[in-house]
Amino acid sequence: MHLAKYFWLICLFFAIPACATSHAPVILVFGDSLSAGYGLAAHEAWPDLLQQRLRHASTTAHWNVVNASISGETSAGGLDRLPVALLQHHPAIVILELGANDGLQGLSIEALRSNLTTMIHLIGAAHARTLLVGIRLPSNYGMSWNEKLQHMYADLAHQQHIPLLPSLLDGIETRPELFQADGMHPLAQSENQVLDNVWGELRTMLRDQAVP
């Protein structure tokens, strides 16, 4: 199992006090090109818009958003990168948005689930909470595959007792005019809707989060 590979790291996390830093708590966005802002200016991507919203939200504490997303990332690549990201940033919340590239590359849903499960365990061992973000692939990939993917995200979130955003692109995914020429990455004017999708789940976590 993947988790055994990272046993040493989990032990290290438990040795690190939860209050290891006095800085503002961190929200770590850990995803693929949909969160990295592919084809957009840096300030246009939804994680940057999230930071702006948090600065103006009177009902939340001060938070720092760190975007550690990489275009083309798969769940296997994310699992390899996550331990270092957790140790570097000490997040209080991790927005975990991976799976699209697994699907586009024809990788198995079972492997995706295994990788996500291990990442969720690592995040918990680092004293952080996970917001799991799902994705639906373009319709030409087939209704059956998307149904299996959505069921996997929902079942995993239920099993791990974590909040789930079923689809990052909810509200725009059936509107091709809101996407770049590749038909997969949102235009800049669509990023506010993407942020609203994330915010709907995240704001409850922010209210509940005990700030160091």
Q: How many domains does the chain have?
A: 1
Q: What is the pLDDT of residue 212?
A: 40
Low-confidence winner among 16-30, 94-108, 129-143 (lowest mean pLDDT): 16-30
Q: What mean pLDDT is predicted for residues 109-117?
A: 97
List, by residue number, the catalytic residues. 33, 182, 185
Share the mean pLDDT of the chain: 89
Q: What is the pTM of this model?
A: 0.88
The CATH number of residue 191's host domain is: 3.40.50.1110
Is position 196 within any domain?
A: yes
Q: What is the pLDDT of residue 59?
A: 56
pLDDT, tens only, 85-110:
999 999 999 999 999 999 889 899 99
Q: What is the pLDDT of residue 18?
A: 44
Is position 8 within any domain?
A: no
Could you give the residue ranges of the DSSP H alpha helices within the chain? Answer: 2-5, 7-15, 33-36, 46-56, 75-89, 100-104, 109-125, 143-160, 191-208
